[in-house]
Structure 1
Amino acid sequence: MSEVRLTVEPRTEFGKGAARRTRRAGKIPAVLYGHGSDPKHLSLPVVEFARAIRENGRNTVLTLDVAGSSSELALTKTITAHPVKNYIEHVDLLLVKRGEKVTVDVPVVLSGDPASGTLVTQDLNEVQLEADALNIPEQVEVSVDGAEAGTQIHASELSLPRGVTLQTGPEILVANVSEAPSESDMESDIDTEGAGVVEEASEDETAGEQA
């Protein structure tokens, strides 16, 4: 997992008006908390923070250079975005230390092509892992290359890096390989749906005649 350095500033003003002024200045209101310490109110550079998350993922370790203080290591806990305009309104950061174990959600990515005539369904998009804060995997890759119909991959079968442990339930289904529907099956489904529509229309006409 990548480590990104950001220069941040302490915030001394609070409330909605102060938050709007912070955003107008090209910064994001944020709070850093953890390890029983008092929360620190910070301003993050919006462009650099957004780039770090876009290029390295939500679990990238941020080295925060706080003006007038020593550097802090942090993980992004929560990003609150505006529901309509889609800009970042606020960020919650979790203080971490080197060598510390953290629990995070990591994306699951399928790779490879299954056997001909099959269909792959991904049931789990993220898996919860415990890992060293500075060695969080960017993703967990699951190969379905050559998988035959009837193949099921559960969380317990995931291949994880050394020192990383699974926190998601081991019995949870990650991916399922089934037979792909044939052309005739799909046509049959369409015919059945069409018949249902005709039948409903006929019942409505009968009710109208009786009335």
Structure 2
Amino acid sequence: MSEVKLAAAVRTEFGKGAARKIRRSGNVPAVVYGHGSEPVHITLPTHDTVMALRTPNVLLSLDIEGRNELAIPKAAQRDPLKGFLEHVDLLIVKRGEKVTVEVPVVAEGELAAGGNLLEHVLNTLSVEAEATHLPESVTVSVEGLEAGASVTAADITLPKGVTLVTEADAVVLQVLAAQAEEPAAEAEGDEAAEA
């Protein structure tokens, strides 16, 4: 996992008007907290922050006016209609510290023939890992799985140094049998032939 460096500035103005002004200037309001320290209200460059947040569980190296802090995203609020970033909550972490995060589950491979469907019961797994070595995702092979098969959290191989927090017997993926569609076109054709 790579670190993304972001320059941050401490902000002293708060409220909706101040937040709008910050966003108009090309920045996004954020707050950094954790390890018993007082929350620090900052601004981050919007474009760089959006690009960094595309990587799940990204490790951010923040330069807060000369002081360096490592942080991971805890929450990001977006405008519900336009989708732009409105605010970011960041959690301070230390090297060597273990943290619990949600990691996306990626399925790869082809199911057994028959038009079966793969259902993602859980899209993410809760795992514990060292803050500077957080996995971006976990991959599960579904190659050749038949209808009725399922993959539990315990079945997933995790990277070295990562432990499962999600219950081991929780179903993550399951294969559903293809539903046979009623032949509507044939039924209409039979009625036309009878008339």
Shared fold, TM over 0.5: yes
- Large movers: runs of 4+ above 4 Å: none
Deviation of residue 180 (structure 1)?
Answer: 2.2
Within the candidate set 70, 75, 100, 2:72 is matched to: 75
Deviations, residues 95-144 of structure 1 (Å, cap 9, x unaligned) = 00001100000100110001111332221101100001111111010100
Q: How high is the TM-score relative to the length of structure 1?
A: 0.83
Deviation of residue 151 (structure 1)?
Answer: 1.7
Residue 166 (structure 1) aligned with residue 161 (structure 2): no
Within the candidate set 51, 62, 66, 2:64 is matched to: 66
Superposed counterparts of 1:122-133, under 5 Å? 122-133=120-131
Superposed counterparts of 1:190-205, under 5 Å? none
Within the candidate set 143, 146, 169, 1:145 is matched to: 143
State the match for 1:194 in structure 2.
none
Deviations, residues 172-205 of structure 1 (Å, cap 9, x unaligned) = 1111123323xxx3116x69xxxxxxxxxxxxxx
Deviations, residues 28-72 of structure 1 (Å, cap 9, x unaligned) = 010000000011110000000001112x22x100000111x3210
Q: Tell me how far apart the structure 1 counterparts of residues 49 and 167 of structure 2 sit (CA, whole Å).
A: 32
| 84 and 150 in structure 1: CA distance in 2 versus 1, 3 angstrom threshold | closer
Gaps of 5+ in 2: 186-195
Deviation of residue 88 (structure 1)?
Answer: 1.1
Within the candidate set 106, 111, 118, 1:109 is matched to: 106
Superposed counterparts of 1:1-211, under 5 Å? 1-54=1-54, 56-57=55-56, 59-67=57-65, 69-117=66-114, 118-181=116-179, 185-187=180-182
Aligned letter for 1:134?
Answer: T
Cα RMSD between the aligned structures?
A: 1.4
Gaps of 5+ in 1: 192-211
Q: Tell me how far apart the structure 1 counterparts of residues 60 and 6 of structure 2 sit (CA, whole Å).
A: 7
Q: How high is the TM-score relative to the length of structure 2?
A: 0.90
State the match for 1:195 in structure 2.
none
Q: Percent identity?
A: 50
Q: Tell me how far apart the structure 1 counterparts of residues 171 and 30 of structure 2 sit (CA, whole Å).
A: 36
Deviation of residue 2 (structure 1)?
Answer: 2.3
Larger Rg: 1
State the match for 1:200 in structure 2.
none
Q: Secondary structure at the match of 1:65?
A: strand
